[in-house]
Amino acid sequence: MSLLDQIPVVVESGSVVPEADPHPQGYGNAEPVLHEVRHALARLISTGETTKIDLKAMPFGPGDLEHLLSVLGTGEVQASIDALGPTRVQETAIPGVWLVDYLNSEAHRLALHLEIATVPEILCPQPQDLNDAIAALDARLNPDQSDPPLAS
């Protein structure tokens, strides 16, 4: 994709990351976010209140995001939404903790959220769309009728 990949990089000495270590290194800034997730989970369980955490707005150093995601792991549910480019939803290995990755049509990341909820908001139909749903179905049931029937 990027020509940058084709520039050979030779690391001569002093590599910070030991090569055999499978765990991503970090600057220690993932830890506070993990505790925030823990508080959010407790709130979700006790009051049903959902939380969104904007991972792009965190002062992460190299390796912090990778470390955070590796601790959270990969869960069972994946979903993708096709609206203004793809949005990928992945449940982490912690039930109720979702990673929502918003991409535009050029696959640039617009936002990256952790959502602590039973169902991420973007998966739900929007209330106004729900209001129009019966009318939309009626229009399909009666394709010849030019006047749309009342929506109730």
Partner 1 sequence: MAARKPTEKTLGESLRERGVSRRGFLKFCAATASMMALPPSMAPAIAAALEKAKRPSVIWLSFQECTGCTESLTRSHAPTLEDLILDVISLDYHHTLQAAAGDAAEHAREEAMAANPGEYLVIVDGSIPGPKANPGFSTVAGHSNYAMLMETVENAAAVIAVGSCATFGGLPAANPNPTGAMSVMDLVKNKPVINVSGCPPIPMVITGVIAHYLTFGRLPELDAYNRPMAFYGQSIHDRCYRRPFYDRGLFAKTFDDEGARLGWCLYELGCKGPTTYNACATMRWNDGTSWPVEAGHPCLGCSEPKFWDAGGFYNAVSVPTSASGMNVLAAGVLGAVVGGAVAVSAKKQTKAEVAHRQPVTVEELEAKL
Secondary element (H or E) of residue 68: helix 64-72
State which residue, 29 or 70, has the beta carbon closest to partner 1: 29
Smallest gap from residue 7 Cβ to partner 1 (A): 16
Q: Say which residues have a Cβ less than 8 Å from residue 132's Cβ, sequence separation at least 6.
A: 151
Q: Both tokens of residue 41?
A: 């989970």
Site residues (vs partner 1, CB under 8 A): 14, 16, 27-29, 51-54, 56-62, 64, 81, 83-84, 87, 102, 104, 106, 108-111, 113, 121-122, 125-126, 128-129
State which residue, 26 or 71, has the beta carbon closest to partner 1: 26
Please say whether the beta carbons of 64 and 32 come within 8 A: no
Smallest gap from residue 119 Cβ to partner 1 (A): 13
- Residue 77 DSSP code: -
Which SS3 state, helix, strand or coil, does residue 87 take?
strand
Q: Both tokens of residue 30?
A: 């993932």
State which residue, 42 or 142, has the beta carbon closest to partner 1: 42
Smallest gap from residue 96 Cβ to partner 1 (A): 16
